[in-house]
Amino acid sequence: MYMNIPKSHPRYLSLQIREKLVSGFDNNLVAKEGLLAHGRGEAFDYLIGEKTTKSAKDAIKAASIMLNQAENSVISVNGNFVALCPKEIIQLAKITNSKIEVNLFYSSEKRKKAISNILKKSGAKEILGMNKKQSTKLKGIDSARRIVDKNGIFSADVVLVPLEDGDRTIALKKAKKKIITFDLNPLSRTAQTADVTIVDNVTRAMKLLISESKKQSKKQISFDNKKNLKITILEIQKNLKRRAKNV
């Protein structure tokens, strides 16, 4: 398909991911703004070398323990996440006993339905965030983005919010939730606000989070997110220095 790039090259995978987003957009799963967010993510993926870093692996371990220890964990899903890894979302929810809630930055009933249909096709039984009667509001955030499900995010102790906007992450923190995120930009507000930030492409990191969660580890670990983000930035610096030599 991409004549000049061998299949084993990480760039090949990145281009395949890009196509998934484009077809997600054509199928009404992904918002226009979601394509832009993806572009931002791709740029950071380049900087980390299109592979899972050591600091991301450490964050994945911490995230799996946090999910295993949660009383009521919720996986928040948006169009980009579902376009990229629907099967993995269902798998992770099963293994960690988490609920799934559709929660969109740019809300649209049509897109919500499309997202819920894909998840159901992939094997999900219950999708929260679809029933207006069950919805309530988060404080500290403007109107369209504060709606959450009473039985989902509203009553959760741990929320996994991939590719999330900073305003919402801050509002979720104010509501005393423990936050896990996938975010390729270690400097975004979400990355800086979450309790565990996995700076990796969600397509690679979800697979690793699933296999880590299968271990069902409940051991206590101390995880310092800010410290880990600093390590990520140093990894990026190192990677760029190495590549600068070959320019």
Query: Taking CB under 6 A as the rule, which mask of x and - marks residues 173-202 in contact with ligand ATP?
Result: ---------xxxx--xxx----------xx
Decide if residue 41 touches ligand ATP (CB under 6 A). yes
Given ligand ATP, Mg ion, none, residue 73, with its beta carbon under 5 to 8 Å by kind, binds none
The two tokens of residue 115 are 């997202």
Decide if residue 24 touches ligand ATP (CB under 6 A). no
Q: What is the DSSP string of 18-58?
A: HHHHHHHHHTT-S-HHHHHHHHHHHHHHHHHTSS--HHHHH
Q: Which of positions 150-169 make contact with ligand ATP (CB under 6 A)?
A: 163, 165-166
Q: Which is nearer to ligand ATP, 49 or 166 (CB)?
A: 166
The residues that bridge with 197 in the sheet, in sequence order, are 181
Site of tokens 């991301």 = 56
Given ligand ATP, Mg ion, none, residue 190, with its beta carbon under 5 to 8 Å by kind, binds ligand ATP
Decide if residue 58 touches Mg ion (CB under 5 A). no
Nearest to 200 by CA among 16, 37, 57: 57
**CA 27, CA 18: separation in Å to the nearest integer?**
14
Decide if residue 61 touches ligand ATP (CB under 6 A). no
Torsion region of 216: left, alpha or beta (phi above 0 gives left; psi -120 to 50 gives alpha):
left
Closest CB 141 distance from Mg ion, rounded Å = 12
Decide if residue 164 touches Mg ion (CB under 5 A). no
- Cα 42 to Cα 50, 81, 89, 154: the distances in Å are 9, 14, 21, 31
**CA 6, CA 12: separation in Å to the nearest integer?**
7
Site of tokens 């077809």 = 23
Decide if residue 165 touches Mg ion (CB under 5 A). yes
Q: Which is nearer to ligand ATP, 183 or 212 (CB)?
A: 183
Decide if residue 148 touches ligand ATP (CB under 6 A). no
Closest CB 173 distance from ligand ATP, rounded Å = 12
The residues that bridge with 149 in the sheet, in sequence order, are 135
**CA 163, CA 104: separation in Å to the nearest integer?**
11
Interface with Mg ion by CB under 5 A: which range of 18-26, 27-35, 80-88, 160-168?
A: 160-168
Pick from 11, 18, 20, 40 the residue near ligand ATP by CB under 6 A.
40
Residues at the contact surface with ligand ATP, assessed by CB under 6 A: 37-38, 40-41, 44, 163, 165-166, 182-185, 188-190, 201-202
Residues at the contact surface with Mg ion, assessed by CB under 5 A: 165
